[in-house]
Amino acid sequence: MLESTSLVDADRLHSHAGNLKENGWRLVGMTGVAREGGVDLFYHFDRELKMTNLKVETEEDETIPSIGDQFPGAWIHENEIQDQFGIRFDGLDPDYRRLFFLEENVEATPICRGVSARVSKEPGK
């Protein structure tokens, strides 16, 4: 478990993020990690070189509220997560609809393949 991380529900995310914003925290980035049946989303915040994290455990096909209205720099992180894991963000602006890094004809979610799809053992392939 990551240091100073609090687990929050998706519908409480907005109020938690608002709290952090009021206390002068800055959004550093977002990380998505695939697990069985969903994705762990981390929101990293920083204030005076200290970090704190929010963790949201999403289920498959769940829509997460965007925190773009509180942190105006969040759109770029959310668009990337949307590309990589296919998670929908509610209220995302601008919304690239999964064309941020990907081409039109890509259907798959590149990183959300779970542990089972891992190829291994063969060196350098």
User: Which residues are at the interface with other proteins (CB under 8 A)?
Assistant: 1-3, 26-34, 42, 44, 49, 51, 53, 71-73, 75-77, 80, 94, 99-103, 110-111, 115, 117-120, 122-125
The DSSP letter of residue 121 is: S
Nearer to other proteins by Cβ, of 8 and 77: the residue is: 77
Nearer to other proteins by Cβ, of 11 and 110: the residue is: 110
Tokens representing residue 93 in the block: 């602006």
Q: Please name the residue that has the structure tokens 């894991």.
A: 85
- Give CA–CA dist 56/53, Å, rounded: 10
Nearer to other proteins by Cβ, of 21 and 88: the residue is: 21
- Give CA–CA dist 16/11, Å, rounded: 10
Q: Report CA Rg, the chain.
A: 15
Output the smallest distance, CB 4 to other proteins, in A: 10
Tokens representing residue 108 in the block: 């798959």
Output the smallest distance, CB 15 to other proteins, in A: 19
